[in-house]
Structure 1
Amino acid sequence: MIFKQININSKQELDPYFELVDYEACEYCFSTLYMWQHVYKTGYYIGEDFAVIVGEYEGDSFSILPLANKNKLPEVIEFVLKYFEKENKKIYFRGITKEVVQFLQEKYPHKFEYIEERDLFDYIYDAESLKNLQGRKNQKKRNHINYFLKEYEGRYEYKLLGKENFEECLYLIKEWASNKEENDGFDEGVDDEFLGIKKLFNDYDILKDKIRVAGIYIDRKLQAFTIGEILNENMALVHIEKANPNIRGLYPYINQQFIINEFEYVEFVNREEDLGIEGLRKAKLSYHPCRFVEKYTVREA
């Protein structure tokens, strides 16, 4: 088995396999894998009606869920297990669903250890709740947005962005990072998220069939932007959301407007994981997720 490194040319080959599955985790779309390929050294193998994705984490090779029809999944998982054995590597899965954990426990008792990865759980929200922010639980969010609308009345504009705006987006990230004490040594050449965003922007012509980029201008200066796409017919996925933290109400406003304007008909929104970062977890919980995409690491016992 020869695995190809994921690059922008892989999109055309892999997209049909992403369409085979209805996984809800953020890892299971091309843009996510491409954006973080430089971190996880992600590669893929195309088989008969399936695709296998592998990567590397802390020096160990791992696989995520294969891209295959549900009825073929047990067969393809067996294929992946044999691959690890042939390569003389310990079996290692990341981003595995509870359903597949149960399957592995039943078919291969005592063979694996299962680790619940709370820091990697994706936050799933009811789209209508994000758009309308109704009820007492969302009162603070509504207050922040109302403050923003009043304070900046006539001065702000929500806008779908294109290539001509991407330099402004990158400048916003650098400006935001340089203003944070903990980011005093920010280096755009080594910051993994920054590099990932640049990749999406550089190859936007190829990715624009899926991804959407929107921003908020205040007094004609970009102060917030966000990147997302449709993950499956029921769900939007928000990859990136950046805003000037000194402008009250800007984060909840772009969050709300992105869903209203670009993902009007989805039922759910995936806003990815919190990585165990306390501030990020607090922010994501403040929007009241309706559930999580639970993820598990599976290792050979």
Structure 2
Amino acid sequence: DRHLKLHNPQVSELTFTNLFAWRNFYRFKSAEINGLLCIIARPCGSEPYALMPIGSLDSEVFEDTYKELRDYFKQMGWKPVFKKIAHDELVYFKTHVNSDEDMVYDRDNSDYLYSTMDLIHLKGKKYDGKRNHINKFKSKYDFSYVPLECSLIDECSRIMEEWCREKNCNCQEGDYCERQANMELLKNFRYLECKGALLYVNGRYEAFTAGEMLNGDTAVIHIEKANTAIPGLYTVINQQFLEKEWKDAAYVNREQDLGLEGMRKAKLSYNPLKMVDKYTVYTC
């Protein structure tokens, strides 16, 4: 956590919660090199890669650290690859690639960044649809906002399991499994620096969400699950969670769309300020 605070991360992967929740899929290995936290991912069925070294960076420290990581990759018989690299961090790799073509834009894993106030107040014509969803929901349902406490983790797990049954997300060992990662977050919620909430709708918990601060001015939303049979429920929990918990954060990172058409359409419909572009870098 100390290294992350020094790094001021922009990409959603670089929080302790995210790294912890996804540790079983990515099979992370880590070491401190030259005062930087270096993490290598070894996902099942995919090439190993390194994340950006984490900590107080400068060119000299990065150069020495990069050389050690490169040598380790070569020792293991792996091609040196770095993933989830923010656009502003590409400058560190310029002398370690054959050409700019070796720095490949990863649209599917780039994050969506929004103005928190925009998503709380939903002002203007571009948010007409969102306000309509919320107004229809409020006219049809009795609901209450409930901050997430450990006593409500079982309700979140139930919502997650119901969502998974609808989406047929039966994960096998080695699969990219959102369900497993989300359950890890929930089971360890009391130990993580997260906030969460549920919506209680007509006598039943029907949606939950969880997030944390990514850096000094940006919150990141790790989970948002709801009963899709209730129109407007996702829009309401999105707006309520930001209003109740994150109004002091200037921005909110709502992570990536993974190249899924429906998710991309939904995230774009909230009018992001910008994308937090990520790259895969194939070094020499």
TM-score over 0.5 (shorter chain) = yes
Q: Distance in 2 between matches of 1:291 and 1:99?
A: 14
- TM-superposed CA distance for 1:187, in Å, is 5.8
The answer to whether residue 269 in structure 2 is matched with residue 291 in structure 1 is no
Q: Is the 8 A contact 1:174 1:188 kept in 2?
A: no
- TM-superposed CA distance for 1:109, in Å, is 4.7
Q: Is the 8 A contact 1:124 1:268 kept in 2?
A: yes
Q: Distance in 1 between matches of 2:243 and 2:156?
A: 21
Aligned to 2:198: 215
Aligned to 2:50: 63
Aligned to 2:232: 249
Q: Distance in 1 between matches of 2:110 and 2:161?
A: 28
The answer to whether residue 133 in structure 2 is matched with residue 150 in structure 1 is no
* Structure 2: gaps (5+ residues): none
- TM-superposed CA distance for 1:70, in Å, is 2.5
- TM-superposed CA distance for 1:166, in Å, is 1.2
Q: Distance in 1 between matches of 2:120 and 2:104?
A: 34
The aligned runs of 1:185-196 (5 Å cut-off) are 186=170, 192-196=177-181
Aligned to 1:33: 19
Aligned to 2:163: 176
TM-score by length of 1: 0.87
TM-score by length of 2: 0.92
Q: Which amino acid aligns with 1:108?
A: H
Among 208, 211, 223, the alignment partner of 1:240 is 223
Deviation per CA, 1:50-71: give whole Å up to 9, x if none: 1101111334221000112122
Q: Distance in 2 between matches of 1:191 and 1:29?
A: 19
- TM-superposed CA distance for 1:88, in Å, is 3.6
Q: Which moved more, 1:52-61 or 1:76-85?
A: 76-85
Q: Which amino acid aligns with 2:78?
A: K
SS in 1 for 2:234: helix
- TM-superposed CA distance for 1:188, in Å, is 9.1
Q: Is the 8 A contact 2:171 2:177 kept in 1?
A: no
Q: Distance in 2 between matches of 1:240 and 1:255?
A: 11
Q: Distance in 2 between matches of 1:237 and 1:64?
A: 19
Matched-pair identity in %: 32
Among 203, 213, 232, the alignment partner of 1:230 is 213
Q: Is the 8 A contact 2:164 2:179 kept in 1?
A: no
The aligned runs of 1:63-212 (5 Å cut-off) are 63-71=50-58, 72-105=61-94, 107-110=95-98, 113-152=102-141, 155-178=142-165, 180=166, 183=168, 186=170, 192-207=177-192, 210-212=193-195
Q: Which moved more, 1:78-87 or 1:166-175?
A: 78-87
Deviation per CA, 1:247-274: give whole Å up to 9, x if none: 1211111001111111121111000000
Q: Is the 8 A contact 1:188 1:195 kept in 2?
A: no
SS in 1 for 2:156: helix
Q: Which amino acid aligns with 1:193?
A: E
Deviation per CA, 1:162-193: give whole Å up to 9, x if none: 12111111111222333x3x52x746987722
Q: Distance in 2 between matches of 1:139 and 1:77?
A: 49
SS in 1 for 2:214: strand
